Chain A
Amino acid sequence: MNILLILIPAALLLGGVGLLAFMWSLRSRQYEDLEGAANRILFDDEKPGVENRPKTF
């Protein structure tokens, strides 16, 4: 039964990682434009958004 001491924390930890990842994605506003996100994945000719542009002022 000692295996439980490893398995239960492991299960909780993995679940917790999933939960934290979800909270992070929520916080970084990834759910605000579901329609746009669904389509952006199909663009392949260049990187989306101005933020990825090399900064040359």
Chain B
Amino acid sequence: MTCCPTDLAPDATEAFSGNIQQWVRLNPAGLRTLELIVPGICEPSHIQIIEKQLKRLAELETARVNLSRKGVSATWRHEGFDPARILQELMVLGFVSRPIDPSLSGVDDDALLSRALLRAVAVSGFAAANVMLLSVSVWSGAEGATRDLFHWISAAIALPTVAYAGRPFFRSAVRAVSSGQMNMDVPISLAVCLAALMSLFETFNHGETAYFDASVTLLFFLLTGRYLDHLMRARARSAISQMLSLASTSASILGDDGIAREIPADSLGAGMTMLIAAGERLAADGIVAKGESEIERSVVTGETLPVVVRPGSQVLAGMLNLTGPLHVKISAAGQDTFLSEVVSLLSMAEQNRSRYVRLADRLARVYSPAVHVIAGLALGGWLWRTGGDWHTSLMVAMAVLVITCPCALGLAVPAVHVVASSTLFRRGAMIKDGAALEKLASVDTVIFDKTGTLTLGRPRLIGPAQISEEALAVAAGLAQASRHPLSKAICDAARERDLVPASVEATQEHPGRGLSGRYGSEDVKMGSRAWCGIAADGSQAFPEFALVIGSRSSTVFTFEDQLRPDARKTVDELKNRGIEVRILSGDRAAAVRHAAVAVGIEMWQAEMTPKSKLEHLEALKATGRKVLMVGDGLNDAPALAAGTTSMAPSSATDIGRTAADTVFFGDSLSPIIASLDVSKNAERLSLQNFLLAAGYNLLAVPIAAAGLASPLIAAIAMSTSSIIVIANSLRLGMERRSFARSTVNSRHTGSWVAKEMPA
């Protein structure tokens, strides 16, 4: 699917093979439902194509494409219907699909919460409109019994609304106060409740002024802000849950009777013997008991060179078995396995990180006490001036609270964040929540992992032009049969030169050594130097394959892990912004040095373990630096969680994507620059919004404290500040759009160079 702006992890696009029945949900009415994720859905026409194709399955009651979620949900009643046929029909169209369980991935919870919030928005919106209608009548001169009637009707609408729609704020305010904290919800709850109760008291006493409209409109604006905030997080979460792979959910185990059977990965136990075929990933840590093969460890440790394993070698979950079948005895699930070490480091790093206080709450810590002090002063002042008239004084204090209510703030920050996150999504980065966006704005150091982050994690043949056509064609002929990543790289290189692979017969894969076959009348061998009988020259900085054709010619193919196309440019752009760039890699020093020189990074460290990466980051943070960690592997996960904030490519491991705050798509690193720029703009706009709202309140406070604020003035003040703030937030989207245009132009004219020169 080349039309998609996003690419998914390789695991997510692998065809699903397994028992599909376990994903079918049966509801009490006898309806069976299957939810599928179809990563290939990316444009509106796919809705029609897929739904038309699924009509061919007569048993289906409904089959509906969800374009936002990139999914299909199908329902049917007939018990005998095989749901695998849905996957087959999709496959006919070229769409790979796999089943998901919405309740497991957290998507169900998000949908429930978002529906509850929308309901509260609707109720408060209904109440606000009706109460405002009645209030306008009062303001335009209703008197006596008519005014009382209007107030009573308003009370009948407003009080239940406050009780229903105000719950999210009350809950959060109570939680904050009981833990001795202050957040924005405390003054909000106070203002809403006080306004409603004081107005009820007024209504009882046939009073002139009631603030029912203020309390419900406040709720309506604030709930809208809260819904926007939730929408942003839910969107990111559902997209990330789609990427979680189903890889190694089962493993085949050798029984005592010598017969192999499939069991789910979570019921694997120590002492069992796993059978791992060539090309399979390991589901658990263990010791090789039988067999010889090569293991690719880049996902786990960042090393690009495959290693040979023999009986007695230790292997870890997530590693890829390349050449030969292995019997692996699962080691004790104790504290000493690699994965459990990573997980415990990860949870340690996450604990340290939860101390972050969001911008809105930081502002609230200053703002809320100030508001409460002003309201208290107004109350005291009026008590003193009127000689103990509690009624008037309380009304004034309440007016102050209503007018200074941080309504615009509750709306301002989420509005900016939603605009920012959708701008970034278009440019290839997905931010998990608003806090991540705020943290990105403060970054002054960027740390890259090498394998899979600065590089694509795919080996590529070095200098294919210097290799004779015959050698490459024969090598490709041999390599076709192999799943070894270097074999694939050879096939790619042959394809790029438009070579047809030579026909090699009797191809055999020799675990841990290489391949052999017959080319015409000659024996050919490809693999390690020892296997081909070529003397080692001792350099071994890069992965290599040797090839001998009969006894007449020998060639050595050298491979390198290809850098991402714009790695150099991204590093330059970061440096131009005054950001320090470093590499922390688990790979060998020679490989890391090579990559560091190629992209222009002076500070790098090689052969890092997950623990030393974590320690390096903690040490940097202790000196006051704000670190953005960019990484993908299992070994990066603790560092991703420990960084001030973190990014992972969408090709990262599940654990890496989950630990990172932001996930970016595609082969380009440009989303990193985009995220930093957009986050800076978003922070500036959020602060601007805060100042606008606070400045507005500053004007209104003297009026309220002087006792001159009528409910009409309060209503106007509140609505105008909210509208101003939203309009200001939308500017972010406009700026970015014109920026996007200008970068497109500059790419055409090649003016990137001009940008890199000192001003």
Report if A6 contacts B (CB, 8 A). Answer: no
The answer to whether B66 and A49 have CB atoms under 8 Å apart is no
Q: Which residue of A lies closest to B71 (CB)?
A: A33
CB distance from B122 to the nearest CB of A (A): 5
The answer to whether B119 and A33 have CB atoms under 8 Å apart is no
The answer to whether A19 and B126 have CB atoms under 8 Å apart is yes
Interface 1/0s, chain A 1-35, versus B by CB < 8 A?
Answer: 10010001001100110110011001000011111
The answer to whether A23 and B119 have CB atoms under 8 Å apart is yes
Q: Which residue of A lies closest to B57 (CB)?
A: A50
CB distance from A18 to the nearest CB of B (A): 7
- A34-B68, A36-B44 known, 9 other contacts, Cβ within 8 Å: A8-B134, A12-B130, A15-B130, A32-B66, A35-B68, A36-B47, A40-B47, A50-B60, A56-B58
The answer to whether B67 and A33 have CB atoms under 8 Å apart is yes
CB distance from A50 to the nearest CB of B (A): 5
- In angstroms, Cα B54 to Cα A49, docked, is 9
Q: With A19-B122, A43-B47 given, is the CB distance from A50 to B68 under 8 Å? A: no
The answer to whether B130 and A50 have CB atoms under 8 Å apart is no
CB distance from B462 to the nearest CB of A (A): 44
The answer to whether B60 and A11 have CB atoms under 8 Å apart is no
Which residues of chain B have C-beta atoms less than 8 A from A34's C-beta? 68
The answer to whether A36 and B65 have CB atoms under 8 Å apart is yes
- In angstroms, Cα B153 to Cα A57, docked, is 56
The answer to whether B66 and A36 have CB atoms under 8 Å apart is yes
What would be 6 A-B contacts, judged by CB atoms less than 8 Å apart? A16-B126, A19-B123, A36-B44, A49-B64, A50-B62, A56-B58
The answer to whether A42 and B44 have CB atoms under 8 Å apart is yes
The answer to whether B129 and A15 have CB atoms under 8 Å apart is yes
The answer to whether A4 and B47 have CB atoms under 8 Å apart is no
Which residues of chain A have C-beta atoms less than 8 A from B69's C-beta? 32-33
- In angstroms, Cα B67 to Cα A35, docked, is 6
Q: Which residue of A lies closest to B111 (CB)?
A: A32
CB distance from B219 to the nearest CB of A (A): 15
- In angstroms, Cα B48 to Cα A48, docked, is 7
Within 8 A of A (CB), among B131-145: 133-134
Which residues of chain A have C-beta atoms less than 8 A from B358's C-beta? none
- In angstroms, Cα B64 to Cα A48, docked, is 9
Report if B523 contacts A (CB, 8 A). Answer: no
The answer to whether A33 and B68 have CB atoms under 8 Å apart is yes
Report if B262 contacts A (CB, 8 A). Answer: no
- In angstroms, Cα B126 to Cα A16, docked, is 8
Q: Which residue of B lies closest to A36 (CB)?
A: B67
CB distance from B103 to the nearest CB of A (A): 15
Q: With A15-B130, A19-B126, A50-B54 given, is the CB distance from A26 to B68 under 8 Å? A: no
The answer to whether A26 and B62 have CB atoms under 8 Å apart is no
Q: With A19-B123, A48-B51, A50-B55 given, is the CB distance from A39 to B64 under 8 Å? A: no
Interface class of chain A by DSSP: helix
**A51 contacts which of B44, B58, B62, B149 (Cβ < 8 Å)?**
B62
- In angstroms, Cα B409 to Cα A37, docked, is 32
The answer to whether A18 and B111 have CB atoms under 8 Å apart is no
Q: Which residue of A lies closest to B149 (CB)?
A: A4
CB distance from B44 to the nearest CB of A (A): 4
Interface 1/0s, chain B 40-75, versus A by CB < 8 A?
Answer: 000010011001101100101111111111000000
CB distance from B375 to the nearest CB of A (A): 33
Report if B146 contacts A (CB, 8 A). Answer: yes
Which residues of chain B have C-beta atoms less than 8 A from A48's C-beta? 47-48, 51
The answer to whether A49 and B68 have CB atoms under 8 Å apart is no
Report if B118 contacts A (CB, 8 A). Answer: yes
Q: Which residue of B lies closest to A18 (CB)?
A: B126
Which residues of chain B have C-beta atoms less than 8 A from A53's C-beta? 55
Report if B115 contacts A (CB, 8 A). Answer: yes
The answer to whether A8 and B153 have CB atoms under 8 Å apart is yes
Query: Top 3 closest A-B pairs, CB basis?
Result: A36-B67, A39-B44, A33-B66
Q: Which residue of A lies closest to B62 (CB)?
A: A51
Q: Which residue of A lies closest to B66 (CB)?
A: A33
- In angstroms, Cα B142 to Cα A4, docked, is 12
- In angstroms, Cα B134 to Cα A36, docked, is 39
**A39 contacts which of B67, B118, B134, B153 (Cβ < 8 Å)?**
B67
Which residues of chain A have C-beta atoms less than 8 A from B66's C-beta? 32-33, 36
- In angstroms, Cα B122 to Cα A48, docked, is 29
CB distance from A32 to the nearest CB of B (A): 7
The answer to whether A23 and B62 have CB atoms under 8 Å apart is no
The answer to whether A23 and B126 have CB atoms under 8 Å apart is no
- In angstroms, Cα B54 to Cα A56, docked, is 15
Q: Which residue of A lies closest to B118 (CB)?
A: A26
- In angstroms, Cα B61 to Cα A49, docked, is 10
Q: Which residue of B lies closest to A8 (CB)?
A: B153
CB distance from A2 to the nearest CB of B (A): 11
Which residues of chain B have C-beta atoms less than 8 A from A33's C-beta? 66-69
Q: With A12-B130, A15-B126, A36-B47 given, is the CB distance from A51 to B61 under 8 Å? A: yes
The answer to whether A50 and B65 have CB atoms under 8 Å apart is no
Which residues of chain B have C-beta atoms less than 8 A from A32's C-beta? 66, 68-69, 111
- In angstroms, Cα B115 to Cα A33, docked, is 13
CB distance from B570 to the nearest CB of A (A): 30
- In angstroms, Cα B61 to Cα A48, docked, is 13
Q: With A15-B129, A35-B67, A50-B51 given, is the CB distance from A4 to B146 under 8 Å? A: yes
The answer to whether B51 and A49 have CB atoms under 8 Å apart is yes
Within 8 A of A (CB), among B92-147: 111, 115, 118-119, 122-123, 126, 129-130, 133-134, 146
- In angstroms, Cα B157 to Cα A19, docked, is 13
CB distance from B137 to the nearest CB of A (A): 9
- In angstroms, Cα B111 to Cα A12, docked, is 30
- In angstroms, Cα B66 to Cα A1, docked, is 53
From A12, A50, A53, name the one whose CB has the most chain B CB atoms within 10 angstroms. A50
CB distance from B98 to the nearest CB of A (A): 19
- In angstroms, Cα B532 to Cα A1, docked, is 105
- In angstroms, Cα B133 to Cα A16, docked, is 14
The answer to whether A49 and B130 have CB atoms under 8 Å apart is no
- In angstroms, Cα B64 to Cα A35, docked, is 13
Which residues of chain A have C-beta atoms less than 8 A from B134's C-beta? 8
Which residues of chain A have C-beta atoms less than 8 A from B63's C-beta? 49-50
The answer to whether A57 and B58 have CB atoms under 8 Å apart is yes
From B54, B64, B69, B133, name the one whose CB has the most chain A CB atoms within 10 angstroms. B64
The answer to whether A1 and B146 have CB atoms under 8 Å apart is yes
From B60, B115, B146, name the one whose CB has the most chain A CB atoms within 10 angstroms. B115
CB distance from B751 to the nearest CB of A (A): 35
The answer to whether A39 and B130 have CB atoms under 8 Å apart is no
